[in-house]
Amino acid sequence: MLESLKDLYVSYPFLPVAEKPAWFNHIKDVRLTVVLDAANAISEYKNANNVRAWLTAIDPSNSVATFKVQCLHFGITDMEVTANLMRWEDGSPSIGSYTLVDDISQLPAITDAEYELNPDVLLFMQKAPVMYYENQEMPRAIAVKKGHNVMASLTPNGIELFGSPGVGEQRYTKLPQGLYTYDNKKSLGVSSINGMQNMVWLTASFPTKIQTESNAGNRVTLTISREKL
C-alpha cells in the first residue's frame, strides 16, 4: 500500500515502483519544459489522468536523458523531450529542461525504459495566438482604440465595445481598403456596425465570450471577456 507523502518523498522525482533501481537515488530532480501550440484544451480530458511523463533513456556518455510526455488535453501523446544531466552542486538553470544528479558516473546507460515520473516535474508553456490577414502574419499585439461609431475600452474582464450613433469617429464615408465579406456571411447576426450594412459578424469560442446589452437610443454594448477555466 502506498504510504502517501512518505513513499512519494523517497521516490521523487519518480513515482513509486515495486522494486526501485539503485540509480533512482542519484537523480535528485527533473524539470521538463514543454511548449504547447495556441489552442483550446479538449474538454473530455479535463478530469482524467492524462498529464504524464516517463523516463525512457539515459546516455551518461553524452550527459543527456530522454523522456516521453503525454498531455491529451492538447493532443500530445508521445512527445519526446531531452534534458541535460547536470550536477546538482552547480544548481539548476532558470529556463529549459534539466535532470539534476549527484554523480553522473553512477547512472547506467538505459534504452527503451519506461519509468513514470511525478507530474510535478512538468512545466507547460503555451504559445500566444497568432493573427493572420490574407495569409500574412500580423504583429503579435492587439490595440484597443475608438473607431467609427464605437468607443473601445479595457475592462477588468476583457474589452468593452460601446456602439452608438454619434460616438467614436462618426460614420464611414467609404469602405476601408482590403475590407470585404463573403456573400454567404452577409445578413448573419449583427446587421450594422459603424454605419456599414451587412459587413460585420461576431463569433466567440471558449474561453472567450461576448455579451450584448441593448440600451435606450439604439445603443448596444458588447463585452468580450474570458470564460472562467
DSSP track, 189-202:
S--EETTEES----
Q: Do residues 104 and 148 share a domain?
A: no
Do 158 and 225 form a contact (C-beta atoms < 8 A)? yes
Task: Please count the structural domains in the chain.
Answer: 2
Q: Where are the alpha helices (DSSP H) in the chain?
A: 5-11
Distance (Å, whole) CA 187 – CA 43:
32
Look up the pTM and report it. 0.59
Among 78, 96, 126, identify where a domain stops: 126
pLDDT reported for residue 161: 76
Whether 131 maps to a domain, the answer reads no
pLDDT reported for residue 33: 95
Residues in the chain predicted with pLDDT less than 70, given as ranges, are 1-10, 132-133, 139-145, 157-158, 164-166, 170-208, 212-222, 226-229
pLDDT, tens digit, 9 for 90 and up, residues 125-155: 988 777 766 777 776 655 666 777 777 777 7
Q: Do residues 15 and 111 share a domain?
A: yes
Q: Do residues 38 and 147 share a domain?
A: no
Among 126, 156, 186, identify where a domain stops: 126
pLDDT reported for residue 61: 95
Whether 137 maps to a domain, the answer reads no
Distance (Å, whole) CA 163 – CA 222:
8
pLDDT, tens digit, 9 for 90 and up, residues 101-124: 999 999 999 999 999 999 999 999
Whether 132 maps to a domain, the answer reads no
Q: Do residues 187 and 160 share a domain?
A: yes
pLDDT reported for residue 128: 76
Q: Which domain holds residue 151?
A: 143-226
pLDDT reported for residue 229: 47
Q: Do residues 27 and 107 share a domain?
A: yes
pLDDT reported for residue 108: 94
Among 73, 95, 126, identify where a domain stops: 126
Q: Do residues 189 and 117 share a domain?
A: no
SS3 224: strand
Whether 95 maps to a domain, the answer reads yes
Q: Do residues 12 and 120 share a domain?
A: yes
Do 114 and 56 form a contact (C-beta atoms < 8 A)? yes
Whether 107 maps to a domain, the answer reads yes
Whether 216 maps to a domain, the answer reads yes
Whether 133 maps to a domain, the answer reads no
Whether 115 maps to a domain, the answer reads yes
